[in-house]
Amino acid sequence: MNGYLKIIADDARIGEAFTTYTIRHSQATIAKFIGIPTEIMSEGLAHNFLRTTEIYLKSFTNTVLD
């Protein structure tokens, strides 16, 4: 999967590699920024426990997205 993402990034001339981790992180960051409830994010990230999502989100900052 990450190989395909590299091809997409190269074709789009993004200039930096991204991975499935980057995409998951971006999805969660955007969801948090727009106010999606943690329970919904947890489902979207396929976390078995809400606490996992809470820990995951705690590592994010509240910076404005580009």
User: Which two tokens mark 28?
Assistant: 């969660």
On whether residue 63 sits in a domain, the answer given is no
On whether residue 64 sits in a domain, the answer given is no
CA 55, CA 66: separation in Å to the nearest integer?
24
How many domains are there within the chain?
Answer: 1
What pLDDT is attached to residue 46? 92
CA 2, CA 17: separation in Å to the nearest integer?
9
Domain interval for residue 41: 2-58
What pLDDT is attached to residue 62? 56
Q: What's this model's pTM, rounded to 2 decimal places?
A: 0.64
Is the per-residue pLDDT at 60 higher than 80? Answer: no
On whether residue 53 sits in a domain, the answer given is yes
Q: Could you tell me if 6 and 17 are in contact, meaning their C-beta atoms sit under 8 angstroms apart? A: yes
Buried b (16+ CB within 10 A) or exposed e, 43-59: eebebeeeeebeebbee
In tens, the pLDDT along 15-56 reads: 887 888 888 888 888 898 899 999 999 999 899 999 988 887
What pLDDT is attached to residue 5? 86
On whether residue 66 sits in a domain, the answer given is no
